[in-house]
Structure 1
Amino acid sequence: MKDTTPLDQGWNLHHDGELLPAAVPGCVHTDLLAAGRIPDPYLDANELEVAWIGRRDWTYSLDLPAHGSAHERTDLVFDGLDTVATVTLGDTVLGATRNMHRRYRFDATGLGGPLTVRFTSAYTEAERVRGIVGERPNEYPEPFQYIRKMASSFGWDWGPTLPTAGIWKSVRYEHWSTARIADVRPLVTVDGATGRVEVHLTVERTAGGAGRPLTARATVAGAEAETVFDGDSAVLVLEAADVERWWPRGYGDQARYELAVTLADGEHRLDAWQRRIGFRTVELHRTPDATGTPFTLAVNGEPLFVRGANWIPDDTLITRVTPARYRTRLLQAVDANVDLIRVWGGGIYEQDAFYDLCDELGLLVWQDFPFACAAYPEEQPLRGEIEAEARDNVVRLMPHPSLVLWNGNNENQWGFRDWGWEEKLDGDSWGEGYYLGLLPRIVAELDPTRPYSAGSPWSGSWDHHPNDVDHGTHHSWDVWNRQDYAEYRATVPRFVAEFGWQAPPAHATLRRALPHETLAADSPGMLHHQKAHDGNGKLRRGLERHFDVPDDFDRWHYLTQLIQARAIATGIEHWRSHWPHCAGTIVWQLNDCWPVSSWAAVDGDGRRKPLHHELRRLYADRLLTLQPADRDGAPRTALVNQSAEPWTTTLRLRRLDTTGRQLAEHAEEITVPPRTVHQLPLPDGMLTDQEASKEYLVADADGLRAVHFPVADKEFAYPRPEFDLDVTAAGDGAVDIRITARTLLRDLLLQPDRLHADATADRGLTTLLPGEHVDIRVHGADTPSAEQVRQAVFCVEPS
């Protein structure tokens, strides 16, 4: 049987003539930080103080005793090297690497001595390749498209510029004889209750094992298959009866089965491979209809309105993202009622633990190939690396039932058409051959059970603009960049794969990241932790359309977070009300990689912004919303029922004035069938334009509430907010806080981290009518006084 020797301990980093302890997996920045040689690059403006690290070459070394294996072959295996490295064992150069997205295996049979990995600066390699292939345009002033490395490590409009180097995944010796399993590709399908697995097995043989008959066996869900073969590949077919299907969360259970493959020489077992798989079908409906080209995912024949979130690397220093951290972040996605995670193309193919958790939690995965916001040369030395990387990762990830879509790139066809690339390129290659040729060919060859899309956004062909709202996927960025969030209602795309609105992180996150300054919207640290072009200007313009811009930082902080939540709510409520024409939204973005003002729902310290709580409401199976009509501006009511059961409810509509006095009321019983949307016009007398600044509309159904204010907040005659507080210890470190409204309280928010940095609350934004109350449970804040709570409570106030 194959033997494995981990080599993750005892490494050193060479730094200015001394040896520093090095963590593997790890990187230069984390090793220097652990040794006290650099400040934390995430605090203040320290990012600038460590910029020199990315420009230097680095060496890692490990003293290895002779391995002394009795096997015919010893391989040195690296699951990930970041990025340009030369690997030497003793006096023998084993090989060189140029791609952090690939696994590497070197023949180390009979060799011994110190193991050395010498990393060349990513900038040096990128500039070398650029000299070979020529200049290509991109949207950020860094050469990330010339090297197969996490693009966002060079900085993004939400991330720091920290291109690092290191052994970023595990390393080990593998000792084996005769043959080993090189790859297993399980093609998993299901018909009724019968699951079918077509196992494509590839082996590598030693010279002594060449031509030798080998036995491959596979088992899953009680089914078995066996074959004897003398070549380098074999196919085993298993058919398992009475299997349960794997479903996305909210649609059913996540049944999984152990698929085991063994390789033997007679009765002597040589190697084994095992994964958990799930039986399910996935389709992407793209047949043109009367209004354009849909983009509708269907799992097990069930068309979905996707409730998604975009995922970026959870830390720019990615080796700090542990399985436990993946679980925390993905559970936050589940808590927000997200059912699909899009792994964005400027990051990485995530680690195995990420996809295992998505399988477990029922989170669908849309996987971008790592190309984003740049023209990518199609010449060597990049083309060969890209093909090898794609083949490696398609095979690695295809056992996961959560993976439902391969996507060629992020925004590159759009960039070619609209961002001036075509003129700058003047006929040079830019990646189209990857997205429309190489990558779909690899997916069709290796993983034909899943759909492939050439890009996001992408209309499906050059017959339509790449970002056409009527065809395929759409990215909605004009609203954040130039318009009021109400403009989300101007179009109904077939699928919204990106849209978002910025806000600062939680107050406690800012206090930790900027410990040395008085916080202000334009203080030096706040500006450094705002990476978007004119980001603060866009925040201000978005705010001043609705509110007078306050001088007080705490008020500015609350209002910008409120505008973020309202903006996303405006888009999702509108687009969900147009199901099935619109088949999904993927909000930009779930998470952050450091403390920064950004579009994220969860900030860089893992704290939930108000947007996270709002997503829980917006992505719930049942949603109640008041929507302005497309033409005359009068609201309509939409009840969205994405559950599997009919929704029978009493809808109550009220027109109220600022004192809470009821001016009109209407109630009716409504039944909304499963997976449908019910829309109805407002009855007569429910709205009036005569007192638009003093009247508003409230809809209630089964504990759900929607409100409609006919004018901007700064034009509405809000009363001065008044409320009563009651604070009660609830046991287990929890506190129950009851807030009772004496006036209209619009978008009431308790910021728990103002009570204690580690405190969390179970509710976000809430609108209360006079006399109503809300109960908020807070964990991690001991028992604050009523005055402390009052200082942490915000709501909309009169101008």
Structure 2
Amino acid sequence: MEAISDVIPFSSTPLTTGWTFKQGDRSSGSENLAANDLPTEIYRDLLLHGKIADPFQDVNELSVRWVADETWTYCTTFNAPRDYGHAGVSTILKFEGLDTFASVFMNGQLILASENMFLESRVDVTGKLKRDGNTLEIVFESARKKGLELVEQHKEHRFIVHQTEISRGPVRKAQYHWGWDWGPILLTCGPWKPIVLETYKCRIFDLWASYELAADLKSAEVRVQAKFEGLLAGVSFAIINQITSETVARTTVPISARDEPAIVEVSFRLDDIDLWWPRGYGTQALYTVRADAHTKVSPLLSAPIHSISQTFGFRKTELIQEPDTHGTSFYFRINNVDIFCGGSCWIPADSLLTRLTPEEYRSWVLLAAEGNQTMLRVWGGGIYESDAFYDAADELGILVWQDFAFACANYPAHAEYLKSVEEEARQNVRRLRNHPSLVIWAGNNEDYQIVERYGLEYNLDDKEPRSWLKTNFPARYIYEYLLPTVMIEEFPGVPYHPSSPFGNGKSTVLKVDPTIGDVHQWNVWHGTMEPYQKLPDMGGRFVSEFGMEAYPHVSTLEKCITRDEDRYPGSMAMDFRNKAIGHERRLVSYVAENFRIRYDVEGFAHLTQVMQADAMSWAYKGWRRQWGASKARKCGGVLVWQLNDCWPTMSWSVVDYHLVPKPSYYAIKRAMEPVVIGVQRKFNSWTTRPADELWQRETGHIDMRRIWQHAEFDVWVANSKCEEIEGKVVVKYFSIKTGEELGSGIRRDITITPNGTTEVIQGHTFDLPGAQNPDEPFNLSEADPFVIHASLTIDRRCVATDISWPDPIKYLSFSDRDIEVCLYDDGTKVVVSATKPVKGFVFVERPGTKFSDNGFDLVPGEPKEVRVTGCSVDDLKWRYIEM
């Protein structure tokens, strides 16, 4: 092995500093301005120099639209690396991501033309560098203009896009950059991922640990493989248990010297392995696999010439789709345990992606974890997220549903496009396949809705993929052939789903089939605008989208609406910020149907937040109830649209742009506790005319006595623990007027079903004592509406409570609540109590404050304890309904 004993170690030098940018192409005479350190993008750099107003404030987004139609050039100079010019040394420029239409020139010569934001490119510059002062220029053309050109070039295709203008359809770029119904139009460009200069005689890459678990999940056959190029004598592999720091496997594979790319692999049998579990079901055991390239393997290993490592975890993932009494199931089974996936949909956390740090990604995922969420769905209109996002999910036990980067459009499928998409898919699947948190890939978001709405060709009987390319829905080839093929070849064993939503090939957002696949339920807010109290009966086998809008806390609005005179609901600045079509009518309608409406910004924001929290409570409690028992999983999970925002705004998010939770976040947190109790009145709609006793059949008028004096209700317990539990359920009724307990209540000892739902009370009727005769005149002033309070005690400790209110809240009076807020433990514990029932008690949150609970209801004799940090006693403020 003497011939390769002098191999030069692999070196990697990020080209981070010294960048400039200017408007126009290379020949432009525009001023060269200093850019941010890489990664960066054009809006950040223009902001750096005060060339544009902050697009996140007021209506400034309009004033920066021109940026997207211009060409921009980034430039830096660099010296050749130390080992450049040595015999056999390769020198590579690695571009991890260029956004999007980029022409790269080095010392005046074109070395790369890139048209896909999601692709990494490697350019061999061996022998092309000067020792000092190499010039690197990257010209970014307008993605919007290039998209329009591509639409014209491909007139054979019927371009259809929702939410935005048509130019996004043929462009492989984050689709939300064109704007969405929750985000601004900020068509950015620039070197959005690192640019690195590499030198080596040998490198190893694409390290992957795949495995087959034994039936008892206690041992695994592990296959570790890596690719390499250049001259080396061997590769040593090691697997380290991160919990114990023990090296559980190690070996070295000799390699005959060669310089073409090749694969080296080795197999291990590991016994007594630690499994990776979702949060709440076990530990998040992780392992490190390391590969070291050596120039000498005998008699002693040389020092590694190049080393790479990956984190992975052992877990068994199944998507259970089996016939049952409800149709075809759709739920996840991890390590042989059925998992109800309550969680959220995830959009990019900033319109300017390069501002996000690994610490911020972890903070976002930690919020989901602390909110008892089990799954995050990475939406297809964004990006394949940063490694930091998936690292945090691995660490914190959050399951990840990953969409491929397609959303709400009829995408083309000509040869050049398919080639780019295939490379995009392979690169990103390879990058992410070691993460145990990633348990499913889906082909797109809502593209089959386009098929139905516009009558595109979709023949279920046609099983020939090549023929699909000849239809006006050629992207079927991508979703039902190309991407599943990539998954089989690159990531076998992890489920693939053609779309979200997708059922039998015909179920879409427009025509929901609740018996199969996943559903997006948008007949609350969008569509027919059903009352959100109907959500429990509007689900499916897995609800992967639904939502209700709300304002963020006023502290967030004050940051982005800078003029006092604009801080009122319905101002131009407020309406401009809310991108949802028809939001003025929809939001006000839902608030006015349920609450006494207020139009000051603090009061209206509070009402929208309580309404959104109520909607989340109805949905998560109702659909978790349908988790049922083994072999009868009617609903396998629910993912709210959406967890987060990409800018400060009012939207469907349950946490705002500044990581400040809305009350709905806590409603989900309470509904997703390991053991919860639910109480739910039979819903009688006062906004429509159902065929029930609430409406007088003869006149069509509502009979409010059915709300004020009578309640038919259910009580159940949901348990995600895998063991049977003994408990006690207590049901009480409290007068909303006086706070007095009414009637004798209900007390029952129960045995709680493991990993399922236990029905405790079904169809129980409670009539208010002394209720007026239905034949007598109804006196509103004498009516005494009541709440139903259910509690669950285990081992003499109350572990869960729930409250059911008579709807609508706007008909109720909340005077004289006698609320008391007491602070203990140096101000870190707050206890809130009341002598009468309270609706929607919300502590005002700001960035930096943290509450263990918020947005809750109160009944007499049941004080609420809340842990709080980051807020002094004097700063603690709150609101409740009719405060």
Distance change >3 Å, CA 762–CA 97, structure 1 → 2 = same
Distance change >3 Å, CA 724–CA 543, structure 1 → 2 = closer
Cα distance between partner residues in 1 of 2:507 and 2:573: 46
Where does 1:284-683 land on structure 2 (aligned, <5 Å)? 284-418=319-453, 427-462=471-506, 467-481=512-526, 482-518=529-565, 519-579=567-627, 580-628=633-681, 634-658=712-736, 659-664=738-743, 665-681=745-761
| Secondary structure of the structure 1 residue equivalent to 2:161 | coil
Cα distance between partner residues in 2 of 1:35 and 1:196: 56
Indicate the residue corresponding to 1:33 in structure 2: 47
Cα distance between partner residues in 1 of 2:138 and 2:178: 22
Deviates more, 1:164-173 or 1:63-72: 63-72
Q: 1:707 aligns with which of 778, 803, 810?
A: 803
User: Which runs of 5 or more structure 1 residues have no equivalent in the other structure?
Assistant: none
Cα distance between partner residues in 2 of 1:264 and 1:297: 42
Q: Match for 2:274: what amino acid?
A: E
Residue pair 2:372, 2:673 contacting (<8 A) in 1 also: yes
TM-superposed CA distance for 1:501, in Å, is 0.5
| Secondary structure of the structure 2 residue equivalent to 1:110 | coil
TM-superposed CA distance for 1:307, in Å, is 1.3
Deviates more, 1:643-652 or 1:280-289: 643-652
Q: Match for 2:226: what amino acid?
A: L
Q: Does 1:202 align with 2:227?
A: yes
Cα distance between partner residues in 1 of 2:31 and 2:17: 21
| Secondary structure of the structure 1 residue equivalent to 2:128 | coil
Distance change >3 Å, CA 159–CA 354, structure 1 → 2 = same
Indicate the residue corresponding to 2:880 in structure 1: 795
Cα distance between partner residues in 2 of 1:507 and 1:255: 41
Indicate the residue corresponding to 1:167 in structure 2: 191
Indicate the residue corresponding to 1:9 in structure 2: 17
Can you list the C-alpha shifts for 1:164-197, whole angstroms capped at 9, x where unaligned?
Answer: 11111111111011x3224233323322321232
Where does 1:27-106 land on structure 2 (aligned, <5 Å)? 27-68=41-82, 69=84, 70=86, 72-106=89-123
| Secondary structure of the structure 1 residue equivalent to 2:327 | coil
Can you list the C-alpha shifts for 1:660-683, whole angstroms capped at 9, x where unaligned?
Answer: 222221111112032021013258
Cα distance between partner residues in 1 of 2:507 and 2:849: 52
TM-superposed CA distance for 1:261, in Å, is 1.7
Can you list the C-alpha shifts for 1:325-358, whole angstroms capped at 9, x where unaligned?
Answer: 0111111111111111111100000111111111
Distance change >3 Å, CA 649–CA 186, structure 1 → 2 = same
TM-superposed CA distance for 1:539, in Å, is 0.7
Cα distance between partner residues in 2 of 1:443 and 1:655: 55
| Secondary structure of the structure 2 residue equivalent to 1:399 | coil
TM-superposed CA distance for 1:727, in Å, is 5.1
Q: Match for 2:306: what amino acid?
A: D
Cα distance between partner residues in 2 of 1:491 and 1:595: 30
Distance change >3 Å, CA 460–CA 275, structure 1 → 2 = farther
Q: Does 1:254 align with 2:284?
A: yes
Residue pair 2:237, 2:250 contacting (<8 A) in 1 also: yes
TM-superposed CA distance for 1:78, in Å, is 1.3
Q: Match for 2:748: what amino acid?
A: E
Task: Specify the structure having the higher radius of gyration (Cα).
Answer: 2
Where does 1:677-756 land on structure 2 (aligned, <5 Å)? 677-681=757-761, 686-688=766-768, 690=771, 694-701=785-792, 702-716=798-812, 718-726=813-821, 728=823, 730-731=825-826, 734=827, 736-753=829-846
TM-superposed CA distance for 1:310, in Å, is 0.6
Q: 2:163 aligns with which of 130, 133, 140?
A: 140
| Secondary structure of the structure 2 residue equivalent to 1:29 | helix
Q: Match for 1:797: what amino acid?
A: E
Cα distance between partner residues in 1 of 2:589 and 2:274: 52
Q: Match for 1:223: what amino acid?
A: A
Indicate the residue corresponding to 2:687 in structure 1: none
Residue pair 1:129, 1:381 contacting (<8 A) in 2 also: no
Deviates more, 1:88-97 or 1:458-467: 458-467
TM-superposed CA distance for 1:247, in Å, is 0.6
Q: RMSD of aligned C-alpha atoms?
A: 2.4
| Secondary structure of the structure 1 residue equivalent to 2:594 | coil
Residue pair 2:20, 2:32 contacting (<8 A) in 1 also: no
TM-superposed CA distance for 1:740, in Å, is 3.2
Residue pair 1:297, 1:303 contacting (<8 A) in 2 also: yes
Q: Does 1:233 align with 2:258?
A: no
Cα distance between partner residues in 1 of 2:476 and 2:515: 22
Residue pair 1:458, 1:467 contacting (<8 A) in 2 also: no
Q: 1:154 aligns with which of 165, 178, 184?
A: 178
Cα distance between partner residues in 1 of 2:862 and 2:213: 52
Give the TM-score normalised by the residue count of structure 2. 0.84
TM-superposed CA distance for 1:148, in Å, is 0.8
Cα distance between partner residues in 1 of 2:396 and 2:139: 40
Distance change >3 Å, CA 56–CA 325, structure 1 → 2 = same
Distance change >3 Å, CA 251–CA 437, structure 1 → 2 = same
Give the TM-score normalised by the residue count of structure 1. 0.93
Residue pair 1:517, 1:525 contacting (<8 A) in 2 also: no
| Secondary structure of the structure 2 residue equivalent to 1:494 | coil
Residue pair 2:101, 2:114 contacting (<8 A) in 1 also: yes
Cα distance between partner residues in 2 of 1:677 and 1:703: 16
Residue pair 1:457, 1:467 contacting (<8 A) in 2 also: no
Q: Match for 1:271: what amino acid?
A: H
TM-superposed CA distance for 1:311, in Å, is 0.6
Cα distance between partner residues in 1 of 2:457 and 2:412: 13
TM-superposed CA distance for 1:724, in Å, is 4.2
Cα distance between partner residues in 1 of 2:359 and 2:476: 38
| Secondary structure of the structure 1 residue equivalent to 2:160 | coil
| Secondary structure of the structure 2 residue equivalent to 1:47 | helix
| Secondary structure of the structure 1 residue equivalent to 2:172 | coil
Indicate the residue corresponding to 2:127 in structure 1: 110
Residue pair 1:76, 1:108 contacting (<8 A) in 2 also: yes
| Secondary structure of the structure 2 residue equivalent to 1:486 | helix
Indicate the residue corresponding to 1:120 in structure 2: 141
Cα distance between partner residues in 2 of 1:489 and 1:771: 30
Q: Does 1:189 align with 2:212?
A: yes
Q: Percent identity?
A: 31
TM-superposed CA distance for 1:462, in Å, is 4.5
Distance change >3 Å, CA 193–CA 418, structure 1 → 2 = same
Q: Match for 1:627: what amino acid?
A: Q
Q: Match for 2:249: what amino acid?
A: A
TM-superposed CA distance for 1:595, in Å, is 0.6
TM-superposed CA distance for 1:120, in Å, is 1.0
Indicate the residue corresponding to 2:466 in structure 1: none
Can you list the C-alpha shifts for 1:124-152, whole angstroms capped at 9, x where unaligned?
Answer: 22122212223411112322221111100
Can you list the C-alpha shifts for 1:359-411, whole angstroms capped at 9, x where unaligned?
Answer: 11111111110000111101133211100000001111001111111111001
Can you list the C-alpha shifts for 1:660-707, whole angstroms capped at 9, x where unaligned?
Answer: 222221111112032021013258663459578612321112242222
